[in-house]
Amino acid sequence: MLRADLYEKSIKIDTYVSSNDCRACGFHNREEFLNKLRSGQLKPSHCKMAKNRFLSLLWAAKPDEILPEVEVLQLPNPGPAGLFPINQPEKNSPILVSGNSKLTGEVLTAVLSTTVSPFWYMVVDTDGHTVDMAMVYEALTAERVMQILAREKADQIAPKSTLFLPGFAATIRDNLAEQSGRTVTVGPLCAAELPLFFGKTDWKVA
């Protein structure tokens, strides 16, 4: 099987690791800590940092721990579009924006299964393209995001929620913020980085 590129190499884990993290686990520097983490020699029981924090770092260092193996698709494979609740979200819970590729859905579902935190998962009709290809074919636009927001009555269901775009969709952020009147934030390229990106408050490990 030819494995799809899930952009694991895009994760800059160094930016998330502080000297405090290293000292908490008894290491003298960041490089030593990360080497042990990537090699699998460092376990939660060996470390004094909070379990949520440790696991988020582990998944970023070893994305294969949570990302499924998915095959490269030759053609778009569309799934349903809409606004889907994850872990009983509230009116101010973050809205994760993505495309309606079944491959993308499989990857994000695997990552979201690691948390008990509430999110809205908003799937935009990108003609079945993954987000990277949707940007190439202009199938993920601010206008298409607005269509789903309107169709799903997001202004009633989640009026205070920030929209979080996948990293590849950074170019539509300003346009979407202007059209929606919402705060729009650009997230990471790789889904395995989401637990670190959302930090201690918005990602509680299941």
Positive or negative: CA dihedral 137, 140, 146, 148: positive
Total-model pTM = 0.93
Q: What confidence tens digit (pLDDT) does each residue in 123-137 have?
A: 999 999 999 999 999
Question: Quick one: 195 and 105 in the same domain?
Answer: yes
Q: How many Cα atoms occupy the beta-carbon half-sphere of 154 within 13 Å? A: 28
Q: What confidence tens digit (pLDDT) does each residue in 69-91 have?
A: 887 767 899 999 999 999 999 99
Task: Give the domain extent around 50.
Answer: 8-65
E-strand ranges in the chain read 82-86, 95-99, 119-124, 163-165, 184-186
Amino acid residing at 80: P
Task: Supply the DSSP symbol for 156.
Answer: H
Q: Is residue 3 part of a domain?
A: no
Lowest-pLDDT range, 61-70, 71-80, 98-107? Answer: 71-80
Q: How far is Cα 161 from Cα 140, in angstroms, rounded to an integer?
A: 20
β-sheet bridge partners, residue 123: 82, 98
Question: Quick one: 196 and 98 in the same domain?
Answer: yes
Looking at residue 181, what is its pLDDT? 98
Question: Quick one: 49 and 109 in the same domain?
Answer: no
Q: How many structural domains are present in the chain?
A: 2
